[in-house]
Amino acid sequence: MGCGVYLARHGETAYNHEGRFQGQQQIPLNDTGRAQAGELAERAAGYNFRALWCSPLLRARETADIVARRIGLQPVEDARLMETDAGDWTDRTFADVRGEAPELFDAFAAAQPGFAFPGGESFAQQEVRVGAALEEIERHELPALVVCHGMAIRAAFAVRGAVRFERLPNAALVPLDPLEASRAELGGGAATMPS
């Protein structure tokens, strides 16, 4: 456990379950997501985290609060950890967008570096803000747990030069170090598309 920063994806929401873009909306966890957050909290208890950071979006904050009660840390919110702004795709289902713009949807699904949400944020823009947040987190107490989002985790690995991106389960816990991440037992539910 030599990694200084660990990333956790929030628990499941209704939007995750339905395959719908939630972007930066304040979507709560569903019952499954709350249970996943409880399981994440139990896994996190074994790491002796000294700091807990999170996105201010409701699904991440709720997950962080459940973890916080178990590990005795107060979550520190950082807006730079928020999910990508999904722009015109916000609230739309994956199937609807795929039917309307298959090539663009495929670029999103493959996490292509040049992808940008129509009317929203690009992956490159997100990487700048997530990278800045990680630099600040690493200046504080470590090891740190960062509860955020699927695409924010993609951005974190892109910033660190790890080109391969895997879809992560909701409530997965992954070390930011790419080598450690490749060997980690992530936990969480089934891998789902970030949204």
Residue 71's Cα: distance from chain center in Å?
Answer: 20
What is the SS3 assignment for 9? strand
Q: Is 10 a catalytic site residue?
A: yes
Nearest to 53 by CA among 167, 127, 152: 152
Q: Please, are residues 171 and 39 in contact by the beta-carbon 8 Å criterion?
A: yes
Looking at 10, 12, 127, 149, which residue is catalytic? Answer: 10
φ/ψ of residue 174, rounded to 5: -135, 130
Provide the greatest CA pair distance for the chain: 47
Q: Is 83 a catalytic site residue?
A: yes
Q: Is the peptide bond before 143 cis (omega within 30 degrees of 0)?
A: yes
Looking at 12, 83, 121, 127, which residue is catalytic? Answer: 83
Distance between CA atoms of residues 54 and 29, nearest Å? 15
Structure tokens at 171: 């409530």
Nearest to 8 by CA among 195, 130, 187: 187
Catalytic residues: 10, 83
